[in-house]
């Protein structure tokens, strides 16, 4: 990766730079599963290549996360974008939690949303 995890300042910057690195396949994650152009995919065939957590400049509750994911078996590279923190869509985090993190084995812990009303513990 050209950028270490969590290095981008804005969602637009993260998406633009990651698309330049080839993460261009249209991936959609819903409560019903992972899809590419309406075709269902097996999420377990994907690896997290990097993830980037973003916070709004004035409101920490305005947070998001971008996962750059790929599947060698399917020949796909795309982005999963979701809320982070109290507004997080739990299904995104449930999907990515079991996935291996490429080049991060042993260093990256699964991302878990912070429950509403709690502060992050540093």
pLDDT in tens, 65-106: 888 999 999 999 999 887 766 655 666 667 777 676 655 444
Q: Is residue 4 part of a domain?
A: no
Model pTM score: 0.70
Asked whether residue 122 carries a pLDDT value surpassing 60, the answer given is no
Q: Is residue 71 part of a domain?
A: yes
Number of domains within the chain: 1
Tokens 């396949």: give the residue.
25
Distance CA 119, CA 16 (A): 30
Q: Is residue 109 part of a domain?
A: no
Distance CA 46, CA 99 (A): 7
- Residue with the bigger pLDDT between 88 and 34: it is 34
Give the domain extent around 83: 11-96
């Amino acid at each position: 990766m050209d950028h270490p995890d969590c290095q981008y300042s804005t969602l637009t910057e993260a998406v633009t730079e990651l698309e330049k690195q080839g993460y261009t396949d249209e991936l959609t994650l819903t409560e019903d599963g992972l899809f590419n152009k309406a075709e269902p995919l097996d999420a377990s065939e994907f690896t997290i290549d990097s993830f980037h957590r973003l916070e709004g400049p004035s409101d920490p509750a305005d947070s998001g996360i971008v996962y750059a994911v790929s599947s060698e078996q399917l020949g796909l590279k795309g982005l999963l974008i979701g809320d982070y923190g109290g507004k997080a869509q739990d299904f995104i985090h449930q999907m990515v939690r079991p996935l291996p993190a490429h080049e991060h084995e042993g260093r990256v812990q699964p991302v878990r949303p912070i429950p509403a009303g709690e502060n992050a513990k540093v």
